[in-house]
Amino acid sequence: MTTHIDEDTLKQIVADQSKNDDEILQEILDQFQEFEEALEDVMDGIINPLIVKGPPGTGKSESVAIASRQANIKSVDLISSQWEKATKDEIKEGIYPLYPYKCSHKDVIDGALMRGADYGVWQLVTDLYANKDEGLLCLDDNDDILKDNVAMALLMKATEQKSSREITYGKAASTDELLIRGVEPRFDTKCPIIILSNIDFDKHIQHANQKEAQTGKPAPSYIKRWEALMHSRGKFIDLKMNTPKRIRIFCEHKIRTTKMLENSIWLKDTFGRALTNTESEEVLAWVRKNQPHLKTRLDLRTYNKVAAKYLRRPEKFEESAKIDFLKLVA
C-alpha cells in the first residue's frame, strides 16, 4: 500500500536532502526557542492567543505545563470541582438557591488548564469564566473545537486586543452545566489562550481563500477566524516537524538530552529499573531502523513502548517489538 505524501511534505523532504541531521535539528530547536519565548509573552499578556503547530507526542504540552508552573500560574477548573445540590429545605428557607450549586471543593491547578478531546462550547465558556481574573487556558490538540463556529466566535471575543474582553453567551441562563457552576451569561475575562494543534492552518486558509476566489462561495467562517487569530491577533509558530525524519531527529535529541529512558519513573515503577545509556541507544537504533514500518506515527511514547519491551523480554525484544509495533510487510 502506498502512503500519500502531500505537496508541502514532499517539498520539505526534498529540501532536507541537502542538509545533515544537525542542520535539521538546529532549525527545529530554533522554533522551540521561539515557542518558549512566546510562552513567556502570552503569560505576561503581551500576545493572545499563541497558536503552535506540531505533531502530537513531541513535548508541546509538557513545555506549556512546565513553563506555566514555573511562572506560578494558578488555573481554576470549575468543571472538575465538586458541586452539591441544595436540599429542598435549604432552598425553601433561602439558605441556598437552586442555582448555583454549593461548591464543596474548588479544583485549582498549578499551571495551565490543559483541555484535550471531548471538549465543547459550554466547557470553553466555563473555563473562560473560571479564569476571568487569572489562569491560563491551553487547548491541546483539540481540533474539533477549532471547527465549531460558536466556539470560534467565543475565542474571537476572548482574544480581542483589550486588557479585559467581554464574553456573552446567552445560553448560560438555560444550560444546566453552566447554571450549576454559576457561570454568568455576560462577563469580562483576562484569561490568555494557547492553542496546540497539528492542523496545517496556513494550508487550509490558502485553499479556502483560493476556492472562494474561484467559485464565489464564502469560505467556512471558522477558517476566516483562524486567519484572524493567526495573523491579526496572536502569534503562530510552526515547529517545523512536518516529516517523519524531522520528528525522529527531534525525538532522538529529546531522549538523549533529557535521558528520558534512563530516568523514566514509569519504567522504574513498572520494571524495577530504567534503561542504561547503552540500552537506550539500542532502542533508538531499533526505532530508527524500523520507523518506515511503524503502525502508528512516531512520537516520544513510541520509545517508551519499545523500552518496555526491552526490559520485559531482553533476549528477544526486537522480535516482540516487531510483532506489536510494525505493519505486516508482504
Residue 330 has what pLDDT?
A: 47
> What span, in angstroms and rounded, lies between the C-alpha atoms of 117 and 309?
29
Number of residues that this document lists for the chain? 330
H/E stretch holding 112 reads none
Q: With the C-alpha atoms ordered 296, 300, 305, 307, is the resulting torsion angle positive or negative?
A: positive
Residue 280 has what pLDDT?
A: 97
Residue 3 has what pLDDT?
A: 54
Adjacent-strand bridge partners of 271: none
The vertex-50 CA angle with 132 and 15, nearest 5°, equals: 170
Domain map (residue ranges) of the chain? 7-238, 259-325
Q: For the chain, list residues with pLDDT below 50.
A: 1-2, 330
- Going through the chain in order, the beta strands assigned E by DSSP cover 50-53, 74-84, 102-110, 113-115, 137-140, 165-168, 186-189, 193-197, 235-238
* 56 contacts 63 by C-beta, under 8 angstroms: no
CATH 3.40.50 fits 7-238, yes or no: yes
Residue 78 has what pLDDT?
A: 97
- Going through 7-49 in order, the beta strands assigned E by DSSP cover none
What type of residue is 100? P
Give residues with Cβ within 8 angstroms of 287, minimum separation 6: 248, 294, 298, 302, 303, 306
Residue 1 has what pLDDT?
A: 40
Burial class (CB in 10 A: 0-12, 13-18, 19+), 33: exposed
Backbone angles phi, psi at 219, to 5 degrees: -70, 155
What type of residue is 121? V
Question: Where on the phi/psi map is residue 327: left (φ > 0), alpha (ψ -120 to 50), or beta?
Answer: beta
H/E stretch holding 253 reads helix 244-258
Q: Can you give the pTM of this predicted structure? A: 0.88
Residue 4 has what pLDDT?
A: 60
Residue 143 has what pLDDT?
A: 87
Interaxial angle between packed helices 221-228 and 149-158, expressed in degrees from 0 to 180 and rounded to the nearest 10? 20
